[in-house]
């Protein structure tokens, strides 16, 4: 019986991750490639998909949406400017 292989997109969708997240996890050796096609496209096995679903380190997704990162950056900038203003008022 022939093994069934998944594309990068199919693999990512099955795990509920983005394609870029799958790429990063492959680079970090958390996910193993089954191989590449002659054109360089990645292939994954169903066994690897099952293994990844059970591995909490693979399923953990630390990516935060860009709007949260921008909000946090704005908060930090506001705090720094407040500190600067207070230091000027205090004569430092």
At residue 6, does pLDDT exceed 90? yes
Yes or no: say if 19 and 63 are a contact pair by the CB < 8 Å rule.
no
* Mean pLDDT value across the chain: 83
C-alpha span between 56 and 9 (Å, rounded)? 20
C-alpha span between 48 and 70 (Å, rounded)? 35
Residue-level pLDDT at 92: 57
C-alpha span between 31 and 14 (Å, rounded)? 14
Residue-level pLDDT at 70: 65
C-alpha span between 16 and 18 (Å, rounded)? 7
Residue-level pLDDT at 77: 74
* Domain boundaries defined on the chain: 1-61, 64-92
Q: Tens of pLDDT along 7-50?
A: 999 999 999 888 999 999 999 899 999 999 999 999 999 999 99
Which fold is adopted by the domain 1-61?
Answer: Multidrug-efflux Transporter Regulator; Chain: A; Domain 2 (1.10.1660)
């Amino acid at each position: 019986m022939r093994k069934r292989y998944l594309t990068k997109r199919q693999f990512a969708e099955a795990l509920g991750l983005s394609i870029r997240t799958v790429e990063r996890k492959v680079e970090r050796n958390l996910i193993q490639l089954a191989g590449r096609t002659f054109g360089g496209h990645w292939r994954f096995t169903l066994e690897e998909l099952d293994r990844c679903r059970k591995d909490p380190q693979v399923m953990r997704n630390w990516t935060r949406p860009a709007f949260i990162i921008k909000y946090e950056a704005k908060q930090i900038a506001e705090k720094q400017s407040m500190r600067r203003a207070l230091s000027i008022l205090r004569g430092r």
